[in-house]
Homo-oligomer: A and B are copies of this chain.
C-alpha cells in the first residue's frame, strides 16, 4: 500500500491536526474530537454542520468558514461520524439561532446525524436537517436506501451557507437547502479503485481496460462496467443520465461542477469539461459558472463526477456570494 501516512489508525486524527495547523485563520479543531469549526464563531447566525466519513477531502472540512459551514465532523475513513462528535459540533457552533445539519444520504450518516439531532434537541438546541441525494446513478445501494449523496452536496453548503451568513432564519436556510437539493443532480464514473488505509488493499478491482459508470464514492457498484470509453463519450453519458432525470429547457441557467475523485489529473477533468460545455451549448442551456477540481474525492480513486445545478436568481446570487474557506474562496 503506497500511502504517505504514519499509521493507518491515526490518519484522520493527523489529517485534522494538519488542516488546523495549516489554516488557523479559517478553522480550529475542537479539542478531543475530529471536528473542525470556524476560527471565528462570534457572528450570531444560523449554524451549518455537515460531515461524513473521511477520505472525501476537501469535503467537508475544506468548506468550513465564512459563507459556508460552521463545523465539519469527520468519521473514520468511509465511516459515518459518531453521534457524540456530531453533538459536540452542534453545541460548539449553536449561537441560539438554530443549527442546520447537511447530511449525505447514506444510512449510517442519516442514523447518526438524527441521533445527534435528538440529543441536541434534548439540550434545548433547535436543529433541522436536510438530506442530499444528488446521485442519479442508482436507487438503493450498498450503504444507502434511496439515492446516494455526492458532490452536489458542496453546492448545498455554499448556497445555504451564504443565506445563513446574511442572517436568514433556520426555516429559510433549510428551505433554500431543500431547493438546492431539488435542483442538483450528479453522476460519477471510476477508472481505478482506492485503498482504505486500515484495510491496506483496494476495495474492488477494475480491469486494466475497463471503467465503471455510476460508481459511488465509496466504491459502491454503479450501472455498467464497460471498456474504457473516450472522455467525450464519458461526458455524454454522464450528462445524458443527469438531464434525463432533471430535464433542462433551452435558456435555463446552470452551474456545472466537474469533480475529480482523487487521482485524475486536472488535464483530464478539463478535457471532460470541454465536452460537457459543448453539450450544454448545443442544448442552449446557459452555464453561469463552472467549477473544475477536487471537491468530493474518494481517496486516490481515478475518475470523475459531473454535477449540474439549475439556478434561479436567488440561487445565483447565493452561489456568487463571497466565501472564505480552505477549498472555496
A-side residues, CB < 8 A to B, are 2-7, 11, 14-19, 21-23, 54-55, 57-58, 62, 191-192, 208, 211, 228, 230-232, 234, 256, 258, 262-274, 277-278, 290, 292, 294, 297, 299-300, 302-304, 329
Can you name the residue of chain B whose Cβ is closest to the Cβ of A206?
B2
Q: In the assembly, how many copies of this chain are there?
A: 2
Can you name the residue of chain B whose Cβ is closest to the Cβ of A62?
B266
Chain B residues within an 8 Å CB radius of A303: 4
A265–B329 touching, CB < 8 Å: no
CB distance from A277 to the nearest CB of B (A): 4
Can you name the residue of chain B whose Cβ is closest to the Cβ of A274?
B18
**Contact status of A191 and B4, CB under 8 A, knowing A18-B274, A277-B18:** yes
12 sampled A-B residue pairs with Cβ under 8 A: A4-B191, A11-B267, A15-B274, A18-B269, A18-B277, A19-B273, A21-B274, A58-B266, A263-B300, A263-B302, A266-B294, A300-B302
CB distance from A2 to the nearest CB of B (A): 4
CB distance from A299 to the nearest CB of B (A): 5
Q: How far is the CA of A6 from the CA of B268 in the complex (A)?
A: 9
A21–B290 touching, CB < 8 Å: yes
